[in-house]
Structure 1
Amino acid sequence: MYQLNIDIQDFLSNIWQKKPMVFRQAFKDFADPIAADELAGLACEEEVSSRIVVTQNEGKDWQVINGPFEDYDQYGEENWQLLVQAVNHWYPDSQPLVEAFRFLSDWRFDDLMVSFATPGGGVGPHIDQYDVFIIQGEGRRRWTVGDIGQYEQRNGNLTSPLIENFVPIIDEILEPGDMLYIPPGFPHQGFTLSLALSYSIGFRAPSQQELLTQLADYLIDENLGHKRFTSSEDRVGAGVVSANQQQEMMALLKQLAEEPQHYQTMLGKLLSQNRFELDICESEPVTAEELAEAIEEGAVLRRIGGLKVLRLENDNQHRLFINGNVFNYDAADDNHAQRLADDTELSGDTLTAMTQSSLQPMLLTLLEQGMFYLAEAE
């Protein structure tokens, strides 16, 4: 298990989404959950999102090569970095590191990205629009972080995340077990001093664009949102849209977005989905009797890596949102639904009671779909 050695309440009150911070020995006696050769093996798989970034021109330019990769010999022993996204989806031994960050809500969690870097390797100065915790594993890396501000994109490329250089407000070398937290909007870059493994725990929130797009799609799919604009005035001139009319039209959208029956389903589906592919292996249907027998023999129920099981506070229905899908249950079983959302593993009497509730059809479906699986207790 990985125990995060920080004051979580102080972090949430004074640091989270406010300022970057280095935490020395955030994980004492840190042990890498994955080896470099195992990470390289994952990057050979078609389903896994990976890339190599090669440092060029003495650290002034970077070349990005997308995976999968068959071999790495061509890149030599310096000036490149392998990055593999959503390692927690494909490598179960990495899940305990993710669990250390569940003091933050699951809906925010994006993925665990793992990087292997050779001396001189890095991705250049850039800005991310999400929160990230970077934990240093094997090796040493120097990190610089700048303040929020206006930065020119490198070479004037408006589609590139790379920016021109910045003035550091943090300039530190991370050793194994150290952690760097960076909120959205702060420019940063890492420079590798020795062969190194780093772990990036990312947390992402939806943008206005994403929310509006999802809401529009939902209203169209459900044939909702037909209320038309009516004006309180119409005598301002033939070629004019008055300021008051403009505001009233936008108020029509605001009214729609404030009605739970219009936005809750959309939010639940959106926030329970993953950006990266899950390791889903569909199975043969499991009967209620087979499930009960497996539990009696000591089996535990586990969700696959990266799967989000969410509830909405003050929901107008009794339901769970799982990987963009909706599962309803009876009001009397709210406590079981809460356990399914909060716990990544269930067993014993708790699981037995759940299978005897209105959640039973949901569990059987999730097992068949490969979202959950039965395993031996460790």
Structure 2
Amino acid sequence: MYTLNFDTAAFVKDTWQKKPIVIKNAFNAFEDPISADELAGLAMEEDISSRIVQTKPDGWNVIQGPFEDYDEYGENGWQLLVQAVNHWYPESQAFVEAFRFLPDWRFDDLMVSFATPKGGVGPHIDNYDVFIIQGEGERRWKVGDRGDHKQRGGDINSPLVDDFEPIIDVVLTKGDILYIPPGFPHCGETLSLALSYSIGFRAPSQQELLTELADALIDNNCGQHRFTSNEEVANKGQVSQAQQQGIMDLLAQLANDPNQYQTMLGKMLSQNRFELDINPFEQAISSVDVIEAIEDGASLQRVGGLKILSLENDKQAQIYINGEAVNVDNIESEIIDIVSNEHLICQSVLLNWKDLPAVITLLTLCVNQGWLYFAE
């Protein structure tokens, strides 16, 4: 249903994380995957992250959701943004699927915005890659070059930056895409009532990696090796360059040992920033129940936004689901690939697995945890 009109392999080679680009008519006959009314309904929910950004003469005002009514905001100068729509609105998965030419571990979420004329969020810089897809209506976007961009008004806590000289100045219409890598300032202004979609991709920072690694070492009582040296320089108050490097090499040893980092990395990369629509079984079902459901015609569907990842050359027989390591010992790699890659495992595939105890045990765990659910 949602097929991209550009060469994704060439895009990754020539454009990805290098430069912003406008792709006109990136979809054939693009249809909005969600309506404005349905988006407003999601914004009423406590568990769903939403906000309204009002354009003011002296800047922007942000109001956090949920929202019951929009009359007070008028007909112009505001924008509703709802995060992680793919977690809560299953019909959006087909749209998200078009961007799976990039790996799942990078994928952040689908943010959807409904904007009135003159609505926008102001000039800002993101630390992640984003594809902005235009639905109904029109929006004008300006993108600046990387550089030393000051925060607006000199406020170091402001998410906004000062105005910039654009290298892209374009009006997006239905089905157009604007791709922006990290570090490029950008600003959008709505020209007519508009629905827009932001597909974000993130990677961990050094700070996040060190925090997760430290937590994992503490939890597992690992990382006890201390610095040793063969000689000491008699220079009372000074730490030699060799000793500085030797101490920091302790971290390098951890980073170069898969046994130390792989489980931590798999857990970290399979986590989501936003809540998932997960409903674990209150009373656990059995493997027999799963087999019976399969024989009765059930397929298995992944809940929206859930990441199921495997690590190449993993030293442990594990996959990583929603921040947890799950044992996959005695399961063939081809089956692991299907579980990791496919959002829907159809009944015809499941029937081939029903006599494989390790696979059925895995699927039963996933159903009981609320990660997978039975679908027609």
- For residues 35 and 359 of structure 1, the distance between their equivalents in structure 2, rounded to whole angstroms, comes to 39
Give the equivalent residue in structure 2 for 1:313. 312
2:341 corresponds to which letter in structure 1? D
1:203-226 deviation per Cα after TM superposition (whole angstroms, max 9, x unaligned):
000000000000000000000001
- For residues 355 and 63 of structure 2, the distance between their equivalents in structure 1, rounded to whole angstroms, comes to 51
Residue 20 of structure 2 is aligned to residue 20 of structure 1: yes
2:291/2:360 contact within 8 Å kept = no
Give the equivalent residue in structure 2 for 1:375. 375
Shift of residue 360, structure 1, vs aligned partner: 1.5
CA RMSD of aligned residues (A): 1.1
The runs of at least 4 consecutive aligned structure 1 residues that moved more than 3 Å come to none
Match for 1:160 among 158, 161, 165?
Answer: 158
Residue 38 of structure 2 is aligned to residue 31 of structure 1: no
- For residues 340 and 132 of structure 1, the distance between their equivalents in structure 2, rounded to whole angstroms, comes to 27
What is the correspondence of 1:36-47 to structure 2 with a 5 Å cutoff? 36-47=36-47
- For residues 66 and 335 of structure 2, the distance between their equivalents in structure 1, rounded to whole angstroms, comes to 41
Match for 2:194 among 193, 196, 213?
Answer: 196
What is the correspondence of 1:32-181 to structure 2 with a 5 Å cutoff? 32-57=32-57, 60-181=58-179
1:146/1:186 contact within 8 Å kept = yes
Give the equivalent residue in structure 2 for 1:324. 323
- TM-score scaled by length of structure 1: 0.97
2:331/2:359 contact within 8 Å kept = no
Q: Secondary structure at the match of 2:352?
A: helix
Give the equivalent residue in structure 2 for 1:292. 291
- For residues 285 and 337 of structure 2, the distance between their equivalents in structure 1, rounded to whole angstroms, comes to 23
Give the equivalent residue in structure 2 for 1:224. 222
1:53/1:81 contact within 8 Å kept = yes
Q: Which moved more, 1:306-315 or 1:290-299?
A: 290-299
1:45 corresponds to which letter in structure 2? E
Shift of residue 367, structure 1, vs aligned partner: 0.7
Shift of residue 331, structure 1, vs aligned partner: 4.1
Q: Which moved more, 1:107-116 or 1:160-169?
A: 160-169
- For residues 336 and 349 of structure 1, the distance between their equivalents in structure 2, rounded to whole angstroms, comes to 13
2:290/2:360 contact within 8 Å kept = no
What is the correspondence of 1:218-257 to structure 2 with a 5 Å cutoff? 218-257=216-255
1:310-352 deviation per Cα after TM superposition (whole angstroms, max 9, x unaligned):
0000100121100011111224522111110011111233212
- For residues 43 and 112 of structure 1, the distance between their equivalents in structure 2, rounded to whole angstroms, comes to 14
1:141/1:174 contact within 8 Å kept = yes
Q: Which moved more, 1:65-74 or 1:119-128?
A: 65-74
**Unaligned 5+ residue runs, structure 1?**
none
Residue 356 of structure 2 is aligned to residue 352 of structure 1: no
1:127/1:163 contact within 8 Å kept = yes
2:267/2:324 contact within 8 Å kept = yes
2:134 corresponds to which letter in structure 1? Q
- For residues 359 and 158 of structure 2, the distance between their equivalents in structure 1, rounded to whole angstroms, comes to 46
1:143/1:188 contact within 8 Å kept = yes
Q: Secondary structure at the match of 1:98?
A: helix
- For residues 81 and 194 of structure 2, the distance between their equivalents in structure 1, rounded to whole angstroms, comes to 12
Give the equivalent residue in structure 2 for 1:343. 342
- For residues 55 and 354 of structure 1, the distance between their equivalents in structure 2, rounded to whole angstroms, comes to 55
- For residues 108 and 355 of structure 1, the distance between their equivalents in structure 2, rounded to whole angstroms, comes to 32
Shift of residue 160, structure 1, vs aligned partner: 2.0
- For residues 213 and 179 of structure 2, the distance between their equivalents in structure 1, rounded to whole angstroms, comes to 32
1:161 corresponds to which letter in structure 2? P
- TM-score scaled by length of structure 2: 0.97
1:300 corresponds to which letter in structure 2? S
1:236/1:242 contact within 8 Å kept = no
Shift of residue 285, structure 1, vs aligned partner: 2.2
1:37 corresponds to which letter in structure 2? D
1:74 corresponds to which letter in structure 2? E
1:133/1:202 contact within 8 Å kept = yes
2:313 corresponds to which letter in structure 1? N
- For residues 232 and 79 of structure 1, the distance between their equivalents in structure 2, rounded to whole angstroms, comes to 68
